[in-house]
Amino acid sequence: MKSELIYPFDGEAFVETWALWLAHRKEIKKPIEGKIAQQAALRKLSRLASGSEEVAIAIIEQSLEDNWRGLWKLKTPLRNDKRQSASEAHARFWS
């Protein structure tokens, strides 16, 4: 039986940002190999983001910006009055 990854969020922006994270890891010669390791990283990301897709994308973007190998809690939490939809945050980051 072939198991598929279970993404904590199904938005296009999240899936694209996650793919960029995997590409980054491969680029720095520290790929996340195997479905078990990827699933564990996705669970950790969901936990760090407290179930928020927007925060999860921001966490990945923070790690990309700082060239980190891991996913860490946001250094500067998103403010409620500055919150955007996940797709708006994704577009802002990659524009």
* pLDDT tens sequence across 4-21: 999 999 999 999 999 999
Give the predicted TM-score (pTM) of the model. 0.80
| Number of C-beta neighbours around residue 35 at 10 A | 13
> Helices marked H in the chain — which ranges?
12-27, 35-48, 53-65, 86-94
The pLDDT of residue 2 is: 61
Closest among 11, 5, 6 to 54, alpha carbons compared: 11
The set of residues, in sequence order, having a beta carbon less than 8 Å from that of 44 and lying 6+ positions away, is 71
Estimate to the nearest angstrom the gap between the alpha carbon of 41 and the chain centroid: 9
